[in-house]
Structure 1
C-alpha cells in the first residue's frame, strides 16, 4: 500500500494527496474503498479529491468505477513527444520488427524500474503482457539488464531490491549468479532474458547511448521460446546491437 502521508513540502499536502489518488487508480484501485486502502486517506477526503479530479478530466467515473481520464492521456502523449528517443528510434524499430517478425521493445530506466516507451508486436507467437507505459523490475527484463550494463556497482543491490518486491515463489535468490550473467552481458554489449520475466518468453536486448556515451535506453527483440532457441539468440546479438547503434548515432553517440 502506498501512502499520501509521506514527507511533502509545506503547503503541498493537498496536491500530494490528489497525486496519490491518481496513482492508486493507475495501479488498479477503481473503487472508492480500494483507493482509500491504497492511499491511507480518509473516505470523505478521498471522495472530494476524486470528484475534483473527475471534474478536471484527470479521472473518469462510470459503472466500472474510477479510471484514468483524457487529461492524463493528453499529458502522457506530450511527455512522450517531449522525449526525442521514441521519435528517433521509431524508424529503426519498424525496420527491426519487419526483419525479425518478433516483438520489439524500446525502454528506459525510470525511478529504478524499466519503463516501456514503445512496442511493436510480432507477427507470430503469443502476445506479451508488456505495453507502452508498463513497468518491470530492471533485473528481470532483458531491456532492464541492458540498461544496467555500465553499472556494475548496482548489479547486486538492484537484484536484491527487485527480488524483495516479488512473491516468494517467484524469487530466484541468486545474486552471484546474476552478477556472473551481467559480467558476460557487459562483455558482449548485449543482454538476454531467459524467461526471467515471463514464462515462455525470451529476448535479446542492447543499450542505446547518447553523445555523452551514457546509456539512455534499450531496444530488444522478444519471442516465445520455440522461436528463440539459444542459437538464434546468439545470432540476434549483432542484429539488435546494430539497431541500438543506429539509434545511438541519431542521439549523437560516436562510439563503436
Structure 2
C-alpha cells in the first residue's frame, strides 16, 4: 500500500484508493507552496504525465485554479467546502457569542482552535483593534508546543508532552525538554497557558482549554496581543478571564460546572 505523505498523517492508504490519494497529494502539495507542475512532481513523486492529467481534472472541477502563468492555486470548490465544513461544526457557532464578548472587552485578537494531526488548527479568529495584525488565519496550522492555545490543548496529558515537544523542536536537549515539561505541569495546575513570544516575536498570548460533556479537552480559546499591550502582569490578570470564557463555552457544549 502507498504511504500517505500529508503532514501529520500516520496511516497507510487503503487498497484501491491510490488514484484518489494521488489527487489529494496534489491538492496538499499546492496548498503547501508547490504551485507549478514541476514542483508538484518533485514534492509528491507522482509521474509528470499523471500529475498533469490530474491537475487538469482538478482545475476542471474547481478544486484548483490557474494562477500566474504555469502556476496553480486552490480553487473555488475548496473555498465553498471549507465554509460548509465550518458551518457543519457546531463549535464555532456555539462559541461565537462568548468570543465576541471577549473581543469587545479586551480589544485583542481572539482565536478558537482545535487539535488536528498533532498541530493547532484555527477555526475562528477575531482580529484585535490595536497593535499589529497577527499572521494567523482561519484554517492555518501552528505547532502545539510553541503556541499558548496548543499548550492549552495538551493540558493534563503528561504522557504526550515530551514526545510532541521533541517532534516539534528537533535537536532540543534534555534541559529544554525538562523545562517544557515543568512549565506544562504548572499550566495544568493553573488551568491556563502562556505563549511568551515562543511562536512569533513580539506576540504574547494567554489561552485556556474548552471541554465537552465528557470533560475532555476539545478546543482552546486564546487571546493575543503585541508585547506593549501584554506585559506579564496583564497576562496573569487575564488568566481568570480566559478560564471563565473557556468555561462558558464548555458549559454550552455540555460540560458540567464544578
TM-score (norm 2): 0.93
Partner residue of 2:68? 63
Q: Which runs of 4+ in 1 moved over 6 A?
A: none
Alignment pair present for 1:21 and 2:23: no
SS of 2:130's equivalent in the other structure is coil
Partner residue of 1:116? 122
Partner residue of 1:133? 139
**What does 1:1-256 correspond to in 2, within 5 Å?**
3=5, 7-63=12-68, 65-164=71-170, 174-256=176-258
Q: Distance in 2 between matches of 1:111 and 1:96?
A: 28
Q: Distance in 2 between matches of 1:3 and 1:52?
A: 21
Q: Distance in 1 between matches of 2:167 and 2:156?
A: 18
Give the root-mean-square deviation of aligned CA atoms: 1.6
Counterpart contact for 1:3–1:40, Cα < 8 Å: no
Q: What is the CA distance between 1:129 and its match in structure 2?
A: 1.0
> 5+ residue gaps in structure 2?
none
Counterpart contact for 1:59–1:69, Cα < 8 Å: yes
Counterpart contact for 1:3–1:38, Cα < 8 Å: no
Q: Distance in 1 between matches of 2:202 and 2:5?
A: 35
Q: Distance in 1 between matches of 2:12 and 2:145?
A: 29
- 1:159-205 Cα offsets, whole Å, 9 max, x none, are 001113xxx7xx68711000110011001000000111111110000
Q: Distance in 1 between matches of 2:42 and 2:96?
A: 40
SS of 1:174's equivalent in the other structure is helix
Q: What is the CA distance between 1:3 and its match in structure 2?
A: 4.6
SS of 2:98's equivalent in the other structure is helix
- 1:97-135 Cα offsets, whole Å, 9 max, x none, are 010111000000001100000111101111111110000
Q: What is the CA distance between 1:63 and its match in structure 2?
A: 2.1
More deviation, 173-182/212-221: 173-182
Q: Distance in 2 between matches of 1:98 and 1:13?
A: 49
SS of 2:169's equivalent in the other structure is helix
Q: Distance in 1 between matches of 2:176 and 2:246?
A: 29
Q: Distance in 2 between matches of 1:213 and 1:3?
A: 33
